[in-house]
Structure 1
Amino acid sequence: MKQKITISLPVNEDKCRAKAMKIAVSTAGVISADMDPVKKQLVVTGEGVDFFGLMKGLKRKFRCATIIAIEEVKPPVKNPPPAKTPPKTPPKKCCKPCPCPPPSYSNSCVIPVYDSYPQNCTIL
């Protein structure tokens, strides 16, 4: 299980940051370590990192080291490729002629519909 451990480590000098990085990298299971000088945090990523041993080593050198967060790093989810749609084929022509042509043509098949309104209809 890959873990990301964020540690608050208020160090001001580059020499102290280098020592903290050296301690973090020497811990078993650590893959990478990154120091953010603005936030004063050490971010350690690794597989099966013994965070207790890491903190023990950091606390020997730096008394004020505290753990902020321990997170599980999940691998990115790969999206499956979109399903391939079959190419569109033109509609098949049928053998029988259509009984009525489209409405744009005048044809005897078109039957008008008349609504019967009462003679006394008024609009209010």
Structure 2
Amino acid sequence: MAKKILMSVEMRCEKCRSKALKIAAGSDGVKFVGLEGEKKDRVVVVGEDSVDAVAIVLRLRNKLGRTDIISVSHVKP
């Protein structure tokens, strides 16, 4: 079963968005990474159950700044 993680990330420019996607995609077990929201300020990560949401958030906080987990849910195949 897959897991969907929705995070709010403080991104000021297009370079920050690109950097956030690269950081999130670099985690083990990630199958899809995308942006959501009107301001494109939410990062969506879909992957296997082994994807660690906290580890992704910590990496994003270290590189970009404020990052919050909005939701973690299971996705039916």
| Shared fold, TM over 0.5 | yes
Q: TM-score, normalised by structure 2?
A: 0.88
Per the TM alignment, residue 37 of structure 1 is displaced from its structure 2 partner at its CA by: 5.3
CA distance in 1, matches of 2:64, 2:11: 9
Say which structure is richer in helix. Answer: 2
CA distance in 2, matches of 1:72, 1:8: 18
Q: How many residues align?
A: 75
**1:33-112 to 2 correspondences below 5 Å:** 33-36=33-36, 38-39=38-39, 40-47=41-48, 48-75=50-77
Say which structure is richer in strand. Answer: 2
- Could you say which residue in structure 2 is the equivalent of 1:2? 2
* Change in CA separation of 1:23 and 1:33 when aligned onto 2, cut-off 3 Å: same
Per the TM alignment, residue 36 of structure 1 is displaced from its structure 2 partner at its CA by: 2.3
After superposition, the CA RMSD in angstroms is: 1.3
Identity of aligned residues (%): 37
Unaligned stretches of 5+ residues in structure 1:
76-124
Partner letter of residue 43 of structure 2? Answer: L
Unaligned stretches of 5+ residues in structure 2:
none
Q: Which has the higher contact order (CA 8 A, sep 6+)?
A: 2
